[in-house]
């Protein structure tokens, strides 16, 4: 309840003022809110090592993780708490929508998968870092591919939405699921019928489980920064209103 109350208070107190604010503010250690650019910048580092001889191929399921929970399968490990990213987005005046999820009825054989898109304000997701002595800003969805087909994740035209993660109660205590799962910006979708987990969710909604029939995504090693490289996650509001609503689709699992 404490985290939920804090996030609700931040939403109520900060959103009405966001339109009139300018400049850059370090809202939390390593988290900068840029009111002019309508963006949130979060310090982090590259957590996976694609140069290791024994494990050169790294399976990627997230763009950004926190708390070290999923640092073995993410493109940036953030040096802040997941809730701080959520709060910083609220400071821009954004209202979170709902996280994405994949529902499946395990009681039935070959039951359909129901994929629910995340909703909320659309965000651009980029990573800024120094490459060969020059500061660059790149799209991390161009760093991963399906080695079986050669398809790069960016070919799917992914879109990202501030869904806001969800809360679940375990043994009488309420937990913010992005904190529990370490899921800040998804590539795959970890949510289930019990609730979503990513603060920023991705479409198309793809499962991280190989038995669901979706592609398995690996790093493109020549593009991924070296292990330990200082990175900055940049989440920028996409101002264009497409008028499209999040969709729900069903398909047969394999």
| pLDDT tens string 110-136 | 667 889 999 999 999 999 999 999 999
Mention every residue, 6+ apart, whose C-beta is less than 8 A from residue 150.
none
Domain that holds residue 222: 2-238
Q: Is residue 107 part of a domain?
A: yes
Mean pLDDT of the chain: 86
Q: Is residue 97 part of a domain?
A: yes
Has residue 182 got a pLDDT over 70? yes
pLDDT for 176 equals 87
Has residue 106 got a pLDDT over 80? no
Give dist(CA 174, CA 171) in Å, integer: 8
pLDDT digits (tens, 9 = 90+) for 137-160: 999 999 999 999 999 999 999 999
Has residue 177 got a pLDDT over 60? yes
Confidence of residue 164 (pLDDT cuts 50, 70, 90): very high
Has residue 242 got a pLDDT over 80? no
Give dist(CA 81, CA 182) in Å, integer: 9
86 within 8 A of 199, measured Cβ to Cβ: yes
Q: Is residue 243 part of a domain?
A: no
Q: Is residue 212 part of a domain?
A: yes
Total domain count, the chain = 1
Give dist(CA 192, CA 203) in Å, integer: 15
The residue ranges of DSSP E strands in the chain, in sequence order, are 24-28, 31-34, 39-45, 62-65, 74-78, 101-104, 112-116, 122-131, 134-138, 144-146, 151-152, 159-162, 167-170, 173-176, 183-186, 200-203, 218-219, 230-237, 248-252
Q: Is residue 75 part of a domain?
A: yes
Mean pLDDT (whole number) for 14-23: 69
């Amino acid at each position: 309840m404490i985290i939920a109350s804090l996030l609700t208070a931040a939403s109520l107190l900060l959103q009405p003022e966001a339109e009139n604010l300018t400049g850059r503010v370090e809202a939390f250690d390593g988290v900068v809110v840029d009111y002019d650019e309508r963006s949130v910048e979060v310090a982090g580092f590259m957590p996976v090592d694609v140069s290791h001889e024994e494990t050169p191929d790294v399976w990627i399921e997230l763009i950004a993780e926190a708390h070290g929970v999923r640092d073995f399968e993410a493109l940036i490990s953030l040096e802040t708490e997941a809730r701080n990213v959520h709060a910083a987005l609220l400071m821009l005046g954004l209202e979170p929508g709902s996280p994405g999820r994949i529902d499946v009825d395990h009681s039935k054989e070959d039951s359909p998968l129901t994929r629910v898109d995340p909703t909320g304000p659309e965000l651009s997701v980029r990573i800024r870092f120094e490459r060969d002595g020059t500061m660059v800003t790149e799209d991390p969805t161009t760093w991963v591919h399906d080695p079986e087909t050669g398809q790069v994740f960016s070919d799917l035209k992914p879109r990202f939405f501030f869904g806001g993660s969800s809360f679940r109660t375990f043994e009488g205590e309420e937990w913010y699921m992005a904190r529990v799962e370490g899921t800040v910006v998804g590539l795959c979708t970890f949510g289930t019928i019990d609730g979503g987990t990513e603060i920023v969710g991705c479409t198309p909604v793809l499962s991280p489980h190989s038995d669901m029939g979706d592609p398995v995504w690996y790093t493109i090693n020549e593009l991924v920064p070296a292990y330990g490289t200082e990175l900055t996650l940049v989440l920028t509001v996409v101002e264009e209103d497409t008028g499209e609503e999040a969709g729900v689709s069903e398909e047969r699992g394999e």
